[in-house]
Amino acid sequence: MKASPFEILGAIDIVSISAASLILGAAGAWVVGKYARRIGLMDWPLRRSSHNDPTPKGGGIGIFVVFLSSSIYFGIPASFWLPIGILSLIAFMGDQRSLSPKLRLFIQLIISTYIVIGNKNIPLNFLGNVILTLFWIIFIMGTTNFYNFMDGINGIAGMTGIIGFSFLAVYIYFQYGHNHLSFLSASIALSCFGFLPLNMPKARVFMGDIGSILLGCTFGSLIFLSTKSFLDFLCMVSFLFPFYADELTTMFIRIKDGENLTKAHRRHLYQILANEKAIPHWRVSAAFGLGQMLVGFCAFYLKNYGSLAVFAFLFSSFTAFVFVSFYLRSRI
């Protein structure tokens, strides 16, 4: 019989951790918003930006504190939280001064490799295991960058964090019982909830790379650690479906057009809706959030019918997203 979270941590601990996660998520954003100019954390609008006014960035520092403190409190191995923490701090440096894309990718490669090799004993004496290891490294790097690239309008990264990590928390808990990774996921979701009011509907502060890089790397790493089967992988990937779908579609279009993928741009569907279509940011973010919830709930339901059913659903959903994306782009 599975133990409930209340039996593991106690009701007082649950309430305390939840309240602390909410407060820290909000407090980090508020502090950065107040002192950003003094510490060089201002986002000045560029041609590719989706905002017009200088805005503080780095508000995800509270989410970072929640991630670090929760990981230590729940007894999660340092081989998981330490490399992600280091990557997040480097990202925070990037919020203050620009880092070259090549350097960022190299650092992410080192961090992702350490996470994969340091947290699962995958023997590399078989070609299949080597391919699997390379897949997980690329997957964590990809998810890290996808989350970062999709953080471009008010509310979208925070709302996606609330929904995605909530789904992960529930899935990991009911799949594997009292798993502390599920409690970490819940804490991160609550910290995003605390951050969101300062970022939507009007952004008083941006999450910054310290928030989006942290959330992306953590999400990919949690999937890596919690995947026991192909079905697990499909279900958990579905919890971040809109980000994966928009980024993969946009990458295909940019490659087709001969663009340099390391160059900043404004060609994601969410950016087109917010900029060219002039739809308020919060509405675009809410639409992506609703789509994320719909796909996540459907994946949960279809899980009982096996990996083929979930795969078919995700393939159909991705095809529909691509069709809608190309249609809307053609109308501009």
What would the pLDDT profile of 217-271 be if each residue is shown by its tens digit? 999 999 999 999 999 999 999 999 999 999 999 999 999 988 888 787 888 999 9
Whether the pLDDT of residue 1 is over 50: the answer is no
Cα 108 to Cα 146: distance, rounded to the nearest angstrom: 13
Mean pLDDT of 11-25: 84
> DSSP secondary structure string, 182-210?
HHHHHHHHHHHHHHGGGTSSS-SS--HHH
Cα 77 to Cα 115: distance, rounded to the nearest angstrom: 11
* pLDDT for position 88: 96
Question: 11 falls in which pLDDT band (50, 70, 90)?
Answer: low
Mean pLDDT of 290-311: 96
Calculated CA dihedral for residues 225, 228, 233, 236, nearest 10 degrees: -60
Q: 42 pairs with which residues across the strands?
A: 56
Cβ atoms of 71 and 217 closer than 8 Å: no
- Helices 78-96 and 61-73 cross at an angle (nearest 10°) of 170
- The DSSP element (H or E) to which 56 belongs, if any, is strand 55-56
Give the residue from 171, 208, 209 showing the smallest Cα distance to 189.
Answer: 171
* pLDDT for position 101: 85
Tokens of 279: 């739809």
Q: Say which range, 88-102, 178-192, 296-310, has the weakest mean pLDDT.
A: 88-102
- The DSSP element (H or E) to which 94 belongs, if any, is helix 78-96
Hey, how many other C-beta atoms are within 10 angstroms of the C-beta on 71? 23
Whether the pLDDT of residue 9 is over 70: the answer is no
pTM value > 0.85:
yes
The domain ranges of the chain are 5-330
Task: Please report, rounded to a whole number, the percentage of residues in the chain having pLDDT higher than 90.
Answer: 69
Summarised one tens digit per residue, pLDDT across range 129-144 is: 889 999 999 999 999 9
The more confidently predicted of residues 317 and 98 is: 317
Cα 82 to Cα 176: distance, rounded to the nearest angstrom: 24
Cβ atoms of 175 and 308 closer than 8 Å: no
Question: 99 falls in which pLDDT band (50, 70, 90)?
Answer: confident
Whether the pLDDT of residue 301 is over 70: the answer is yes
Mean pLDDT of 74-91: 95
* pLDDT for position 230: 96
Mean pLDDT of 73-87: 94
Across the chain, mean pLDDT equals: 90
Residue 204 CB partners (closer than 8 Å, separation 6+): 29, 33, 55, 56, 198
Hey, how many other C-beta atoms are within 10 angstroms of the C-beta on 45? 12
Whether the pLDDT of residue 5 is over 60: the answer is no
Q: What are phi and psi of 204, to 5 degrees?
A: -90, -15
Whether the pLDDT of residue 6 is over 50: the answer is no
Evaluate the CA torsion angle 143, 27, 20, 200 in order and state its sign: negative
Question: 8 falls in which pLDDT band (50, 70, 90)?
Answer: low
Summarised one tens digit per residue, pLDDT across range 33-78 is: 888 888 888 887 776 767 777 888 999 999 999 999 999 999 999 9
Whether the pLDDT of residue 3 is over 60: the answer is no
Summarised one tens digit per residue, pLDDT across range 164-204 is: 999 999 999 988 876 789 999 999 999 999 999 999 888 89
Cα 141 to Cα 128: distance, rounded to the nearest angstrom: 20
Q: What are phi and psi of 306, to 5 degrees?
A: 100, 170
Task: Please report, rounded to a whole number, the percentage of residues in the chain having pLDDT higher than 70.
Answer: 94
Give the residue from 167, 115, 173, 107 showing the smallest Cα distance to 140.
Answer: 115
Q: What distances in angstroms separate CA 120 from CA 67, 79, 124, 132, 227, one per listed residue?
A: 21, 10, 12, 12, 11
The more confidently predicted of residues 267 and 212 is: 212
